[in-house]
Amino acid sequence: MQFLTVPVASAEGAILAHGQRAAGHLFKKGRILSGDDIDVLRAGGIAQLTVARLEADDVGEDEAALQLARLCAGEDVRVGAAFTGRANLYAEAAGVVTVDAAQINAFNSVHEAIAMATLPPFARVSARQMLATIKIIPFAVPKSALDAAAALLPHPPMRLARFQAQRAALILTHIEATKSSLLDKARNAVNERLQAQGSCLALERRVAHEPAALVPAILEATQAGCELILIFGASAITDRRDVIPAAIVEAGGRVVHFGMPVDPGNLLLLGQLGSATVIGLPGCAISPKLNGFDFVLWRLLARLPVTSRDLMDMGVGGLLSEIPLRPQPRDETTRMEARAPFVSAVVLAAGRSTRMGLNKLLEPLNGKPLIRYALEAALASQADETIVVTGHDADAVRRAISGLDVRVVHNPDYVKGLSTSLQKGLSAISENSDGALMLLADMPDVDAVLINRLIAAFAPQEGRAICLASRHGKRGNPVLWARRFFSAMAELDGDIGARNLLAIYPELIAEVEAGSDAPLTDIDTPEALAAFRARG
């Protein structure tokens, strides 16, 4: 890749290396400069630019990042579209992420242009959470380096082990001085941990703190089909021959390991009885704060084996005593974390097609009505829900989209203009939506690939709160808006969309090059319809 300073007149087709303002326009780094861009820059008095140009052996940042991300994603790991040389991996469900650290270390050693950052091995993750990011650091990478990195990925280094519902038994022991309120607290803490991962407490027993009372309770739990047997003792386990381990052995089981290098949680005991795993709980299990029991429980509920070696390897990162603000298990799903945004696709299909002379959305194109193109693209994309706003010919439009998994909302005020349809669509999106992708129903070339690229670019926390499709610097549709703009969009009036907001927030706009004229191609006239049909 060439990196050089050139006269602005010769910069067309090059990649802008640094952001540049000129004639009231903001050109962000990474933009492929068009002829129109050059005209604006020259009009703004810019004489020279620092740019990058790809050479024959270079692979562009987005293509390279996406290739590698796909090789890194194992079971239940989703790959997001690439943007600015970054492709992210996301969890498809709640579970535990497994990471081949040696494989990733080797991958990161191939070339300085290629980097992968991941969550720690065996991290507990929620659905949609980001697991890793693959970044091409400059604007391109040599193909030889890309091939070398890919060769180190014969199998994906990351996969997700989903939480699977399991039956658990809790046995609480007591002595004369034990308060029932303490046992209640322990039961509640354990039950909340199980429920947070989709499992349940199927059996609870309270017995005297002695092997003679414990053994029948342990055997009852196995006979009830419990896969996990959790024992909270009236006093801490201090030796492999103490009451709880002795009862496990007397019941026919064995002690796998006693103790773990995690604090709090040192006094955890791991045992096995037939197919059931038996855990002697440390005293800290009564607390909702993160402790060593959580590390073990997460793996078991994801049906990952836990061995003596596994416990001994938990020491790095196992000092938890100085982390007082860890979330409680019941709060884990609401904590702030890197995750895939929840995006609502809103297809605006309420117009009267005045320039066409008939309802263009019902016109057949290659065997299906025009309206279905935008909806099928949204459904095939990574958008989380698809909403269509009807108005003119609402019943006919409903029939035309029959069978599609979309939410239909009707705008009775469609004659008042586009703003009313936009607002109707916003009122129908889910409460947890992070952004609304506004699509026009008469743009059949917009596909799921372009929609996914807009979603990949969308990062309000990083200043990319408005993502719009463009072609050679010309802005078009669709446009993805962050939730922060919904209130302003609700105040629009008449036959206008939200385009006026773009001039107010230029620093929050990310233009996504489509690679085709899709963002600029709509079907407004009989001539446009005939031209599209002629393409075959």
Confidence of residue 329 (pLDDT cuts 50, 70, 90): very low
Confidence of residue 15 (pLDDT cuts 50, 70, 90): very high
Same domain, 358 and 506: yes
pLDDT recorded at residue 462: 86
Tokens 């040696």 belong to 102
Cβ(390)–Cβ(420) below 8 Å: no
Query: What is the count of structural domains for the chain?
Result: 4
Q: What is the CATH number of the domain that holds 102?
A: 3.90.1170.30
pLDDT averaged over every residue in the chain: 93
Phi, psi (deg, nearest 5) at residue 48: -135, 155
Note the pLDDT tens digit of each residue in 149-180. Answer: 999 999 999 999 999 999 999 999 999 989 99
Same domain, 330 and 457: no
- Percent pLDDT > 70 in the chain is 96
Sheet holding 2-7, edge to edge: 2-7, 48-53, 15-16
Cβ(305)–Cβ(270) below 8 Å: no
Same domain, 191 and 233: yes
pLDDT recorded at residue 492: 84
Same domain, 125 and 179: no
Cβ(118)–Cβ(88) below 8 Å: no
Say if residue 121 is preceded by a cis peptide, omega within 30 of 0.
no
Same domain, 294 and 375: no
Token output for 319 = 């000092």
Note the pLDDT tens digit of each residue in 340-367. Answer: 999 999 999 998 888 887 889 999 998 8
- 3-class DSSP assignment, residue 62: helix
Q: What is the CATH number of the domain that holds 13?
A: 3.90.105.10
d(CA 65, CA 60): 9
Same domain, 135 and 271: no
Same domain, 439 and 513: yes
Same domain, 257 and 325: yes
- E strand or H helix at 435, and its extent? strand 435-440
Same domain, 83 and 35: no
Pick from 384, 394, 396, 390: nearest CA to 451: 384
Note the pLDDT tens digit of each residue in 68-114. Answer: 999 999 999 999 999 999 999 999 999 999 999 999 999 999 999 99
DSSP 199-231: -EEEEEEEEESSHHHHHHHHHHHHHTT-SEEEE
pLDDT recorded at residue 327: 40
Mean pLDDT of 393-398: 95
Same domain, 280 and 429: no
Q: What is the CATH number of the domain that holds 240?
A: 3.40.980.10
pLDDT recorded at residue 330: 36
- Judged by average pLDDT, the poorest of 74-78, 295-299, 322-326 is 322-326
d(CA 156, CA 118): 13
Confidence of residue 325 (pLDDT cuts 50, 70, 90): very low
Reading phi first (left if > 0) and then psi (alpha if -120 to 50, else beta), residue 198 is in left
Q: What contacts 13, CB < 8 A, 6 or more positions away? A: 32, 33, 53
d(CA 469, CA 513): 6
Confidence of residue 324 (pLDDT cuts 50, 70, 90): very low
Say if residue 478 is preceded by a cis peptide, omega within 30 of 0.
yes
Name the residue range of residue 128's domain.
58-162
Last residue of a domain, one of 120, 144, 162: 162
Confidence of residue 461 (pLDDT cuts 50, 70, 90): confident
Flag whether pLDDT at 494 surpasses 80: no
Last residue of a domain, one of 22, 37, 53: 53
Between 496 and 334, the more confident residue is: 496
Residue 34: CB atoms within 10 A of its CB come to: 17
Note the pLDDT tens digit of each residue in 198-241. Answer: 999 999 999 999 999 999 999 999 999 999 999 999 999 999 99
pLDDT recorded at residue 322: 53
pLDDT recorded at residue 536: 66
Same domain, 364 and 313: no
Q: What is the CATH number of the domain that holds 351?
A: 3.90.550.10
Mean pLDDT of 238-262: 97
Flag whether pLDDT at 326 surpasses 60: no
d(CA 64, CA 148): 12
- The 8 Å CB, 24+ separation contacts for 494-499 are 494/416, 494/417, 494/419, 495/416, 495/417, 495/418, 495/419, 496/417, 496/418, 496/419, 497/418, 497/419, 497/422, 497/438, 498/422, 498/438
Sheet holding 269-273, edge to edge: 200-208, 167-174, 228-232, 276-280, 269-273, 254-258
Token output for 262 = 């995690």
Last residue of a domain, one of 109, 138, 162: 162
- 3-class DSSP assignment, residue 389: strand
Same domain, 153 and 26: no
